[in-house]
Amino acid sequence: MPIRILDPAVAAQIAAGEVVERPASAVKELVENSLDAGATRVTVEVQGGGLDVIRVADDGEGIPALDMALAFERHATSKIVQASDLHGIATLGFRGEALPSIAAVARVSLTSRVRDAQQGAAIRLRWGVVEAQGPAGCPSGTVVTVEGLFENVPARRKFLRSATAETSRVRHLVEQFALAFPHVRFQLLQDGRESFRTQGDGSLLTALAQVYGAEVVEHLLEVRGDQQEGGRTWGYVSAPQYHRANRGAINFYLNRRWVQSRLLLQAVDESYRGFLMEGRHPLAALHLEVPPEEVDINVHPTKREVRFRHEGPVFTLVLRAVRETLVARSPVPVVTPEVASFSALPQQVPAGFPPAGDAAPPGLRTDRREQKEGSGGSLIPRAQVQGLRVLGQASGTYIVAEGPGGVYLIDQHAAHERVLFEEVGARASQRHPDAQGLLAPVTVELEPSQVETLDTWKELLAQYGFEGEPFGGRTYLLRSVPASRKDTSPQALLTVALDMLSRARGPSEAGDSLAASIACHRAVRAGDPLTQDEMAALVRRLEQAAAPHSCPHGRPTAVHLSDSRLEREFGRR
């Protein structure tokens, strides 16, 4: 076939496909325009899943009558002027492609009035061609109506799922806008019926209640991160007792833009380590305020994926803020006083330690104290906890064992952490860490404070299995890391280790916190199925530990149900 320049209408359809993939993408572009125009109320209406009608009405600044046709020209935008503006974009739109793209594949009409103009104007287009234009009486703000989407591109229409599926995408999208802009009042009408609305009172918590229901809100903890070098994060995350089967309710808003980012998801996952069972996920709505020049949102036409110039600082920003919230605010679990603990420790857990989780503590004073003071309270004599016989696993989390003194419930994660903590420490002092060389070295972007921490503790880090070298600027080339579970990335290991080291007040605390962090990343988790042999082996190792009663964070490793207690409970005595 000879080479030809495409007919402009065909070229426009192809370009439109990049921006307007489905009804929800048209809704997204239109709502973004409303928000960019400073709207405080946005009403979205869809009929037939958005394929029949999409209407977005706002009370924003409006479009001057003279600019109206121009708005539908490709690359027509009022938001940026020159290429350098691309590095600091503060608006949601900037490509000047949405209106022409939508217009290329539908029938569109737009009416608008600038706030203090006498009169408004209207324009009507069909498949990219202006059909009518003129003055119109209308309230201030803008209304865009899109009808018959993809009517002229039947192939595209075929790819779409049912109207119901498209409607639910639109609903999800409007919910995300509501969480990103709590001060804007949103209303969604589906086939003539209101299905969602927000108050727009400025509170993210109110918006969350409207999206997820009032019951969920009771479980939310406020995250109020400090201004850090990389930016600031704020929002809400669920307390550990509330969790979900997938990551679908972990939402991020980067400078008010709803974004998807593996990095941010990893940071949240990492924050909940030890707080949630494997395979369970929190709910989160986190806003990130990062200097616009630090992010590249121009990666993809729909702007959903982001790239950060410095990943390390952003990761740490989120990790630290969420982790600190969880550690500080997790509700204290109810401890039944009658069940004697394996040790006297639960009463001694120092303030600030997470009672329910395995959060990285600021220091590890308990261990040494416990070794000295271990004889106090209701500590069970060591002889009684030798030769335990494993009966099975309960809740995929506790090893049930029997010994001379009664029945023991052993927390598999806490127990494994204790055993590994001691082993990691011992191997480090022999300079023989259990490390894994990385097949390909991994680069990690660090923030200046992390570079400093790394410098201070370089020797110690090597002793524990972290090997690497500076790689120019703030980049660090990681060649080997301590052995850990497969799902832990080397970057996460190093970042968490540095975070813990930055709080250490001396070399011995630093060593302990490194060992604790490594143990936590290597240990089996709550919810991991274990075989009888694995459980027996773990219990044997725990029996031999120097301080078997608690995990490195001060939580008990086991609780004890004594024979006499059982007899009492069953009325045998």
* 3-class DSSP assignment, residue 469: strand
For the bound state, the minimum distance from the C-beta of residue 190 to ligand ADP, rounded and expressed in Å, comes to 21
Q: Report the greatest alpha carbon distance in the chain.
A: 99
The item of ligand ADP, Mg ion, none sharing an interface with residue 369, based on CB under 5 to 8 Å by kind, is none
Long-range CB pairs of 215-221, under 8 A, 24+ apart, other chains included: 216/242, 216/283, 219/283, 220/283, 221/325, 221/326, 221/329
The residue with its CB nearest to ligand ADP is: 93
The item of Mg ion, ligand ADP, none sharing an interface with residue 207, based on CB under 5 to 8 Å by kind, is none
Q: Is 93 among the residues that bind Mg ion (CB under 5 A)?
A: yes
Residue placing its CB nearer to ligand ADP in the complex, 61 or 411: 61
Residue placing its CB nearer to ligand ADP in the complex, 42 or 326: 42
Q: How far is it, in rounded angstroms, from Cα 217 to Cα 235?
A: 12
Which residue blocks in 443-506 are alpha helix, DSSP H? Answer: 448-456, 458-463, 490-501
The item of Mg ion, ligand ADP, none sharing an interface with residue 120, based on CB under 5 to 8 Å by kind, is none
Tokens linked to 172: 């999800």
The item of ligand ADP, Mg ion, none sharing an interface with residue 25, based on CB under 5 to 8 Å by kind, is none
Identify whether the C-beta of residue 311 lies closer than 8 Å to the C-beta of residue 263.
yes
Report CA torsion sign: 556, 557, 563, 566. Answer: positive
For the bound state, the minimum distance from the C-beta of residue 81 to ligand ADP, rounded and expressed in Å, comes to 11
Q: How many CA atoms lie within 13 A of 239 on its CB side?
A: 16
How many residues touch Mg ion under the rule CB under 5 A: the total is 3
- Going by their DSSP bridges, the two strands 257-259 and 295-296 should be labelled as unpaired
For the bound state, the minimum distance from the C-beta of residue 149 to ligand ADP, rounded and expressed in Å, comes to 16
Residue placing its CB nearer to Mg ion in the complex, 33 or 450: 33
For the bound state, the minimum distance from the C-beta of residue 265 to ligand ADP, rounded and expressed in Å, comes to 28
For the bound state, the minimum distance from the C-beta of residue 64 to Mg ion, rounded and expressed in Å, comes to 16
Q: How far is it, in rounded angstroms, from Cα 99 to Cα 138?
A: 20
The item of Mg ion, ligand ADP, none sharing an interface with residue 128, based on CB under 5 to 8 Å by kind, is none
- The span of 26-34, 210-218, 289-297, 453-461 binding Mg ion (CB under 5 A) equals 26-34
* 3-class DSSP assignment, residue 26: helix
Q: Is 25 among the residues that bind Mg ion (CB under 5 A)?
A: no
Q: How far is it, in rounded angstroms, from Cα 286 to Cα 268?
A: 10
Residue placing its CB nearer to ligand ADP in the complex, 72 or 398: 72
Q: Is 233 among the residues that bind Mg ion (CB under 5 A)?
A: no
Which residue blocks in 134-182 are alpha helix, DSSP H? Answer: 154-159, 163-180
Contacts of 407 (CB under 8 A, 6+ apart): 391, 400, 401, 560, 561, 566
Residue placing its CB nearer to ligand ADP in the complex, 11 or 546: 11
Write b or e for each residue in 218-254: b if 16 or more Cβ atoms lie within 10 A of its Cβ, otherwise e: ebbbebebeebebbebbbbbbbbebbeeeeebbbbbb
For the bound state, the minimum distance from the C-beta of residue 91 to ligand ADP, rounded and expressed in Å, comes to 7
The item of Mg ion, ligand ADP, none sharing an interface with residue 96, based on CB under 5 to 8 Å by kind, is ligand ADP
Residue placing its CB nearer to ligand ADP in the complex, 20 or 364: 20
Q: Is 128 among the residues that bind Mg ion (CB under 5 A)?
A: no
The item of Mg ion, ligand ADP, none sharing an interface with residue 71, based on CB under 5 to 8 Å by kind, is ligand ADP
Question: Which member of 13, 25, 33, 517 binds Mg ion (CB under 5 A)?
Answer: 33
Tokens linked to 61: 């600044």
Residue placing its CB nearer to ligand ADP in the complex, 19 or 326: 19
Residue placing its CB nearer to ligand ADP in the complex, 71 or 523: 71
Token pair 């031999």 is found at 544
Identify whether the C-beta of residue 53 lies closer than 8 Å to the C-beta of residue 145.
yes
Identify whether the C-beta of residue 366 lies closer than 8 Å to the C-beta of residue 546.
no
Residue placing its CB nearer to ligand ADP in the complex, 142 or 450: 142
What distances in angstroms separate CA 336 from CA 25, 274, 453, 569, one per listed residue? 53, 22, 42, 14
Residue placing its CB nearer to Mg ion in the complex, 58 or 512: 58
Q: Which strand (E) or helix (H) includes residue 23?
A: helix 23-36
Q: Which residues bind ligand ADP (CB under 6 A)?
A: 29, 33-34, 37, 58, 60-63, 71, 76-79, 93-99, 142
Identify whether the C-beta of residue 66 lies closer than 8 Å to the C-beta of residue 116.
no
Q: Is 414 among the residues that bind Mg ion (CB under 5 A)?
A: no
Q: Is 98 among the residues that bind Mg ion (CB under 5 A)?
A: yes
For the bound state, the minimum distance from the C-beta of residue 308 to ligand ADP, rounded and expressed in Å, comes to 22
Binding site for Mg ion (CB under 5 A): 33, 93, 98
